[in-house]
Every structure is written in structure tokens, then in C-alpha cells.
Amino acid sequence: MSRASLGLVALSIFAISGQIYADTQAVETDRASRSKSRILEEVVVTAQKREESQQEVPIAIQAFGGGALSAFGIEDTTQLGRIVPSLQFTEVIGYTLIYLRGVGTDAFVPSSDPSVATYIDGVYMPSLLGVFQSFGGIERVEVLKGPQGSLFGRNSTGGAISVITKKPNPTDVEVELSAEVSNFNSRRYKAYVSAPVTDWLSVSVSGISHRADEYYEQVNRELPENKTDAGRVKVSFRPSEEIEMELAYFKSQQVATSSILSENNSPSTLGSLLLIQPTEDDYFTETDFPAGMRSEQEVFYGSLFWGLPWFDVKVIGSDLSSVTTDTGFDFDGSAMPIAAFTTDNQVIDYQTVELQFLSNDVDEKWFNWIAGLYYMESEVGYEPGHLFLAPNLVNGLLGGVLGLSPAITDPIRSLLSLLPLDSTPLGERGVVIDINGLLGTKSQSVFAQTTIHATQWLDVTLGGRYQEEERFMVRSDSALSQLDGNGTIELFKFPLRRNTVTNFSPKVVFSAFPIEDVMVYASWSKGFKSATYNLVSIYEEPDYVEPEEVTQYELGLKSEWFDGGLRFNAAVFQTTIDSLQSGFVSLLAGGAVTLENAGQARIEGMEFDATIVPFLNWNPGFVVNMNMGYLDAKYIDFSDGAGYDETTGLFTNNLDFTGNDIVRTPEMTGGISITQAISLGSDHEFEIGADYYYNSGFSYTPQNTIKEPDYTLTNGRVSYLYIPLGLRVTAFGKNLENTKYHYSKFQTDFGVNQTLSAPRQYGVRLELEY
């Protein structure tokens, strides 16, 4: 569907809705009886740790309630980029990489913290644990832009995505059920049930189960079904009006392929010498190594709120563990038996505690404040990861190099199976190098923020966080597995380094209210991301990476006009990143993953988002949402960078990337979404929606040689709601134009591995809510 076609869809929706309204105007003259779009629901946010309207918070923030997310067709956080300007999601080997306003992290090892942090109910969640971000029983989602150094945990230099789940209902039974079927044999089921047990106790249970065939086909083997099973239990205690306690338990199991399955469509010189042939960039792959991931996550978290006469106290604690028990990745991305990486014990273990003191009776004071303490300790890494060199060499030579048909190769394989090849380099494992790397962290900080209501039209916000963080290697070594698989031979044992850094990140905001429903703010804020160590190294000592510091200046506008018919928010900003942390992958660079610092990067940009109800009085169900972001994101100083020689394709570490574009940062993103809610009497409602998204393209590496071209996406939805039963049926389509674009490109010594995003998807969803 082209842009012109989308415009015709919009006009058609408008014309249909106008005719329907004209036909029913005689019996529905009361404005209150006309349908109002779910997108217009009011959202109260806690971006500053207290409940406020998002239009009164002097930071760039976009918030969406559960109804609005459903109306937009958003099912998890990775889809938020369609409605949030300058928010970019990509992947590498199953790891989610988030960039917001050009600030993010392209390294994908557990020791490299995300710059855009994800929080569930105020608890920090590592971004790679994607199932935490699937929506079920969601109250709202908040996207906070820019450094969040003063109030949000740690390392949120680019922003934060805060997901707030529903509290157990203390008075009524609440049920949300959803069943969805779509192409690729996808079946998705969600459930949320909440009920009071006593006057002071209520419980909720939510769950999700998803099964789907992989949209890729692997020529040499049948890919496993993608599976997700997850559930959350929340218990709310209210022993008195002043005290409320919540406890939650979450567990999930996943089997997924995602970007772990990729194909080398552009072999390097080295790859060509090793007989890798270029292939079509399509949904068929001839990679020789099994691809996929199996993982399990478990989280306990809870909070205690105590309202005292002079101030309120809140405590939030969590214990998170994630174990990836089976990951397989074909490093060379080809049919050739060259290199592969697996792990059967990738560990992520986090414990956090946050103590908050908050002022209360805000309306009666000329200022409000929050202060607190935050502590986190963690251990992450591989114990072990495995690098396979020449795995399954015989099969690879038979099918890959010689290109023999199964009628010939199958008898040969049967004959070779009688020989004791498993204890030689010709066996299925080839030569295996075990890599052990565990990183420990202890982080503690104290933070405070106050907003002073200086006059009726001027507020001043002052905040800051002092942080002390220690990083230390718990284990770092490599070993050669014996060919028979029994035992290992130590190769290198590296010194267990440790380092402690401290930082103070301040924030100053002036916000003015020149007229009603209009706020202008100017802010200066800093953010900090701790130093770290590389985890994956075979024959060189793990890299130490200096801490990253971010400074942002921002001028913003928040406004509502025409009695709520137009909401328009905009911002211009400049962000400077000192010692930007960057990742690079090469077997010839000491092992696999190399971490390094760029000297400085700078981002200058502007963005806006608008919600328009053009016919507020006679058709409040017709809503247009628009957003656009522009970024000029450059490396100001990045010399001696790691990359690949453009002629030979061999690793080199003396390249100069100064002046290049920052990775994974489109110059321009934008979207428009049109929805129409149509009420037919008191029992029936229709909702029609279409949206269009544009991405101008971006580079995957600081070298700027691997790029994603510009692309567009078009989605559509039609739903019917039977109001008495709370029953909604939705037919939907995603990527209706069947656009080919990638969500992963990954350069190695052997070429560029690429993974295409999903082609056109379509299906039906049934929802029941009461």
C-alpha cells in the first residue's frame, strides 16, 4: 500500500464514518452517546516517582494506556518504534538493541548494559529478556527520553521504557481473555484475572502462551516451533489505609529462533577463499549449523508503601535470574563448516533494592521532593560458551562444497558413521574452544530531586544522583575441549581485574506555563554508564571499557488546544556522549567480541508527536496521530576504531570513524495513524485503524559500510465490539505491502550475516473483557 493508498484509506474511513453518523444523528444527538476513541484515554504517569499528568511532567515522555496500545496494534515494547519518534529496535544474535534519540548500545554481551533501560513496575530488567516486555494485564507504558540519571536506577543514559502492570483489583472481579490466530501457524493466548479475596487482600494472575512456525526455512533441517510460556502472579495487601504491599512472581520459558538464524549474503574476501558462496537475500537459508535459543527466566519482586504524616516511604526489591540453556549460532552464516558459537549456560542474575522518601500533600506546598537510596548487585556471563571450528566438516564438504544430492550423500554418511570420527577433528563437533567469562557488579547510589513552584507560572526542578559502582571479573579463561568430549585442556587463564568508578549526574529544568494548557521547558541533564569488561575472549585479556557520560540540552513544548481537539508536543535537543562504548566482533581480534570507546559523539535533533481530533464536536471517534523525529548523529572523535579492511575484508584496528554516522540511528523516522470508532446504538461499536511508518535507513557499524536502506511499513485493523459482553473481534494485517527489510545485520570475518524482518502477517483476534 503506497502513501497515496493510505490517504485514500483515510478519506474512505472519514466518508464512511460521516455517513454512518448522519444516518444515526436523529437518534443519538447527545454527544456523550457518541463513541470516543480508546487512543484518547487519559494517562497518569509516574515518570517522577509520583502520579502526574504526562502533560505536566517537564521531560519528553510519551505514555500509552492498555486500550490505546490495543487500538494501535502494539503487542510488546519492540513495536513501540512505530508510534514513538526516534525509537529504534534491532537485534543481534537474539539480543535486543534499543536506541532512543541516537543513544544506545551496539554491544550484545551481558556485560554491556543497555543505554535505554527497561523497567517493569519500577524494577530494572535486562533488555535481552524480551518476554518481560510482552503485554498482558498492562496498565500503561511510559517512554522517557533523554538521560534519566537522577531517578531511574542506573545507566539510563538514553532513556527508559517503563511498563506498569495492573494492580490486583481490591473491589471487583476483573477478567481479560485473548485468543489470536494468524499466518505462520501462529497461536497466541493471553489471560488476566484479578479478584478480591478479603477487604485487605486481592490477587491477580496473568499469562501468555504463544506458538508459531518460523517464517524462515532452513534447507538442511526443519526449524523448531517458536514457543513462549509465561505467567505472573501479583498479591496486594492493604492492612491499613496508610500501608500497601505488593508481591509478584514471574516465570517464563522460551524457545525461539529470531536473529540467531541469519545468512551470509555478502561473503568477505576471507569468506570467498573459504568457498562461501553469496546467496539470495530471502527467507531461505542454507546454514549448516542448528540455530535457536532456549531460555528460562524467573523474577521475584515486591514493593511496600507506607504513608506517614510528613512524607511517604516506598521500598522496591527484586531478585531476577535468567539462564539460557541452549543457543546455537552459525558464525560464518553459510553452508560451509567453518565456525559456530553455542552456550549451554548463559547466566544473568540480578538483585536490586530501592528506598524512596517522597513528599506528600503536594497541592498544599510550594515544592515537592523525592530522595532515596539504590543498591544493585549482579553476576552475568558465560560458563561456558563454546566456539566450534570446522563443525560437522564431513557433512559440510559433502553437501556444501561438492554439492552432492541426498541420494549420494546419505549412503556416504551411513558408511562414515561406522568409523570412529567423533574423537577426531572430522567429527561432528570439530575443534571446540570453551570460553568462560563471568562479571560481577556492585552498585550503590543516593539520589534526590525537588520541584519548586516559584510562581504560578514558573517551576524549577533540581535533581542529581551520586553513584559508586564496582565491576570485577569473577572468571575469565579459555580451554580446548578434548576431541572425545571428555575434559578440557586449559589454554589461557586471564587475571581477574576489578575497577571502581564514581559519578555525579545532575539535572536542572525550568518549566513555564505562559497560558492555560501550555508548558514550555528548558533542561540540562547528565547521564552515566559504568565502565565494564569484555566477557568473550579466547587468547587476549578481556578489554576494559571506560565509563560513558552523556550531557543533554533540551527545549520542549507541551500543549493542548481547541478544547482537547489537538495535543501537540515537541522538543529540540543536543546530546553529547563522551567515551561512547561500542562493540565489535572478530575471531581475529582476540576471540570474538571486542569492546572499545569512541572519543566523543554528538546528536542534534528535533521531534514532535501530535494527537488530532479534527471533528471533536460531531465525530470524536475520528483521531489522527502523527509523529516525526530528525537526528543528525555523528562521531565527533573516533580514531583507532576496530573494523574490516574494505579491500581485503580482514580485521584491522586503526580505522578512523570520525565524522561517520552513529550506528543504528536513522536520520528521520515518522508515522501517521488514523483510527475511527463508530458507535451503533448502545450495544455495538466498530473501530477501524490504519498506520504508516517511515524509516530513512541507518548504518549497522561505525565504519558505515553496512547499511539498511530506507523502508516503509503499513498496518491495518478492523474490530467489532459487542458492549454488553465486552467481546471484541479484530482482523488485522501487518506489513501489508510485504516490505523486505532487516532487523539484524551482523558483520564477521567471513562476511555479513543478515536476518530479514517478518513478511506480511494477517490474522484474527478475539478478546473478552469485563
Q: What is the DSSP code string of 434-453?
A: EEEEEEEEEEEEEEEEEEEE
What local confidence, expressed as pLDDT, does residue 223 receive?
87
What distance lies between CA 574 and its chain's CA centroid?
23
Choose among 308, 350, 306, 346: nearest CA to 328: 346
Helical residues (DSSP H) of 451-534, grouped into ranges: none
DSSP-derived letter for residue 591 is B
Q: Which residue(s) pair with 180 in the sheet?
A: 188, 765
Determine the pLDDT at residue 15.
Answer: 39
Question: Using 50, 70 and 90 to split pLDDT, how confident is the model at 411?
Answer: low
Residue 280, burial from CB neighbour count under 10 angstroms (0-12, 13-18, 19+): exposed
Residue 2 pLDDT level (bands cut at 50, 70, 90):
very low
Direct distance between the N- and C-terminal alpha carbons of the chain, in angstroms, rounded to an integer: 36
Please tell me the predicted confidence (pLDDT) of residue 141: 92
Cβ atoms 767, 728 nearer than 8 A: yes
What is the pLDDT confidence band of residue 625, given thresholds at 50, 70 and 90?
very high
How distant, in Å, are the alpha carbons of 57, 352, 369, 450, 708 from that of 50?
10, 20, 10, 12, 40
Segment 740-768 shows an average pLDDT of 94
Region 603-628: mean pLDDT is 95
Query: Rounded distance, CA 744 to CA 265, Å?
Result: 13
Most confident of 40-44, 378-382, 389-393: 378-382
Distances (CA, A) of 670 to 76, 116, 143, 631: 19, 20, 16, 12
Q: Which three cell numbers stand for residue 389?
A: 571450528
pLDDT at 398 over 60: no
The least confident of 43-52, 357-366, 415-424, 640-649 is 415-424
Q: Which amino acid is at 618?
A: W
Short-list 673, 768, 683, CA closest to 713? 673
Inform me whether the pLDDT recorded for 7 exceeds 50: no
C-beta atoms surrounding 511 within 10 Å: 21
Q: Are 734 and 184 in contact (CB under 8 A)?
A: no
264 close to 279: Cβ distance less than 8 angstroms: yes
Q: Which three cell numbers stand for residue 655?
A: 580505522
User: What are the helix (H) ranges across 256-405?
Assistant: 269-273, 393-396
Per-residue pLDDT, 21: 39
User: How many other CB atoms sit within 10 Å of the CB of residue 32?
Assistant: 7
Q: In the prediction, which pLDDT does 367 show? A: 86
Residue 347 burial by Cβ neighbours in a 10 Å radius (0-12, 13-18, 19+):
middle
- Residue 536 pLDDT greater than 90, yes or no: no
What SS3 state is found at 111?
coil
pLDDT band at 485 (very low <50, low <70, confident <90, very high): low
Give residue 218's pLDDT.
85
Dist. CA 329–CA 264, nearest whole Å: 12
The three three-digit cell numbers of residue 52, written as one number:
502526574
Calpha distance 628→686 (Å, rounded): 28
Q: Which pLDDT tens digit goes with each residue over 630-640?
A: 999 999 999 98
Task: Give the separation between CA 563 and CA 193, rounded to whole angstroms.
Answer: 37
| pLDDT reported for residue 594 | 78
Distance (Å) of CA 19 to CA 13, 166, 403:
10, 38, 64
Q: Is 397 helix (H, G, I), strand (E, B) or coil?
A: helix
Using the Cα atoms of residue 562, residue 564, residue 566 and residue 567 in order, give the sign of their dihedral: positive
Q: Are strands 532-533 and 544-545 parallel, antiparallel or unpaired?
A: antiparallel
Model confidence at 726: pLDDT above 80:
yes
CA distance 30 to 24: 11
737 SS3 class: coil
Task: Report whether 451 contacts 490 (CB < 8 A).
Answer: no
Query: Which of the listed ranges 78-92, 353-367, 691-705 does the model predict with the highest average pLDDT?
Result: 691-705
- Of 123-132, 213-222, 328-337, 699-708, the range with the highest mean pLDDT is 699-708
d(CA 62, CA 83) in angstroms, rounded, equals: 9
Architecture of the 3-415+436-769 domain = Beta Barrel (2.40)
Q: Evaluate the CA torsion angle 64, 68, 70, 71 in order and state its sign.
A: negative
- Alpha carbon 244 to its chain centroid, in Å, reads 31
Nearest to 748 by CA among 290, 329, 256, 293: 329
pLDDT of 308 = 93
Query: How confident is the model over 112-126, as a mean pLDDT?
Result: 89
Instruction: Please say whether the dihedral angle defined by the alpha carbons of residues 639, 641, 647 and 650, taken in this order, is positive or negative.
Output: positive
Any idea what DSSP says for residue 149? T
Question: Please, which pLDDT band fits residue 610 given cuts at 50, 70 and 90?
Answer: very high
pLDDT above 90 covers what percent of the chain?
59
CB neighbour list of residue 536: distance below 8 Å, 6 or more residues apart: 109, 382, 385, 435, 437, 591, 592, 593
Q: What's the rounded Cα separation, in Å, for the pair 277 and 334?
A: 8
The C-alpha atoms of residue 489 and residue 432 are separated, in whole angstroms, by: 11
d(CA 285, CA 301) in angstroms, rounded, equals 41
Rounded to 10 degrees, the C-alpha dihedral 128/129/133/134 comes to 120
Output DSSP code: residue 20. Answer: H
Q: Binning pLDDT at 50, 70 and 90, where does residue 29 land?
A: very low
Would you state the pLDDT for residue 242? Answer: 93
Phi/psi at 51 (5° precision): -75, 125
Beta bridge partners of 254: 228, 295
Residue 240 vs residue 429, higher pLDDT? 240
The cell for 251 is: 516465570
Predicted pLDDT at 396: 54
Cell of residue 116, nine digits:
535505554
pLDDT by residue (tens digit) across 309-360? 889 999 999 999 988 888 888 999 998 888 888 888 888 999 999 999 999 8
Please compute Rg for the chain using Cα positions: 27
- What count of other Cβ atoms lies within 10 Å of the Cβ of residue 531? 18
Question: Whole-angstrom Cα distance, residue 282 to residue 751?
Answer: 17
DSSP label at 398?
I
pLDDT at 412 over 70: no
Does residue 401 carry a pLDDT above 50? Answer: no
User: In terms of Cα–Cα distance, which of 582, 576, 581, 574 is closest to 529?
Assistant: 581
- Ranges of beta strands (E only) in 681-722 are 684-695, 698-699, 707-708, 711-722
CA distance 149 to 132: 23
* Least confident range of 335-349, 545-559, 656-670: 335-349
pLDDT tier at 161, thresholds 50, 70, 90: very high
Alpha carbon distance 27, 591 (integer Å): 74
**Spatial distance between the Cα atoms of 674 and 689, rounded to a whole number of angstroms:** 6
Q: How many residues does the chain have?
A: 770
Amino acid code (one letter) for 516: E
How far, in Å, CA of 150 to CA of 505, rounded? 7
Percent of the chain with pLDDT over 70: 88
Lowest-pLDDT choice from 73-77, 434-438, 604-608, 697-701: 73-77
Q: Predicted confidence band at 94 (pLDDT cuts at 50, 70, 90)?
A: confident
pLDDT bracket for residue 22 (50, 70, 90): very low
Among 6-20, 123-137, 200-214, 578-592, which stretch is predicted with the lowest mean pLDDT?
6-20
The predicted pLDDT at position 133 comes to 54
Euclidean distance between CA atoms 393 and 295, whole angstroms: 28
Which DSSP symbol is given to 400? I
* pTM to 2 decimal places: 0.90
- Cα 91 vs. chain centroid, distance in angstroms? 9
- Mean pLDDT score, 449-454: 93
**Separation between Cα atoms, residue 382 and residue 743, nearest integer Å:** 25
pLDDT at 395: 55
Cell 482537547 belongs to residue: 564
- Calpha distance 743→402 (Å, rounded): 32
* Model confidence at 4: pLDDT above 60: no
